[in-house]
Amino acid sequence: MVTLIAIVGTIAVPSLNSLESVRVASATTELTAALSYARDEAIRTGSIHSVEFTAANHLVQVVKITDFGTMALNRPVVRHPISRQLYSLDLDDDPTTSPTQLVNLTLDFDNVGQQQRVDFMPSGQPVWIDIFDQPYRLLSGSIVLSAQATEQTITLDGFTGRITSS
């Protein structure tokens, strides 16, 4: 009996690790797609689009900024291009990504430091825009997603807005 439990245990552990890898990969794909969509929509429409991160509850939203002076009132969440639902990723509630967590968010902007949002200009350049419509250039951007022993990093280039994952 003990031997049977040991055999089942050795089979189950690798499959759990594999499942975590799939979930982190899924979350990475979803988040990369959200960043790309915000950037592409900014270029396509000529209006600023943003990705907002709420690291505490692992929530990511793609929004269109209509007026920075009254930011809280004018941040409609855009619709996902395929599902037509509001473009919001909840890593905790999505069965394809849970229990993936946003473990490190580093969006460092010139003269303002760390922020929880990245805005994309119509040129596609990632910036952070204050309430006075002043853009600040992204110096470095990385997002680390993790579940158990599996970890992936998404990097955002501050000049081009190019998004890569590793």
**65-101 residue pLDDT tens:** 876 554 554 567 888 989 999 999 998 888 888 888 9
The tokens of 36 are what? Answer: 């790309």
Q: How far apart are CA 38 and CA 48, in angstroms?
A: 8
Q: Is the dihedral of CA 143, 120, 85, 116 positive or negative?
A: positive
The tokens of 58 are what? Answer: 């692992």
pLDDT at 27 > cutoff 50:
yes
Instruction: Transcribe 105-121 into DSSP letters.
Output: EEEEETTTEE-SEEEE-
What confidence category does residue 19 fall into, taking pLDDT thresholds of 50, 70 and 90? confident
What is the number of alpha carbons within 13 Å of residue 109 lying toward its C-beta? 18
What is the pLDDT at residue 1? 52
Strand partners, 104: 144
CATH classification (class only), 2-165: alpha beta
**123-133 residue pLDDT tens:** 999 999 988 88
Q: How far apart are CA 127 and CA 110, in angstroms?
A: 9
In the chain the beta strands, taken as DSSP E runs, fall at 49-54, 59-64, 88-90, 101-109, 113-114, 117-120, 126-129, 135-147, 150-156, 163-165
pLDDT (average), residues 104-118: 95
Percent share of the chain, pLDDT over 90: 57
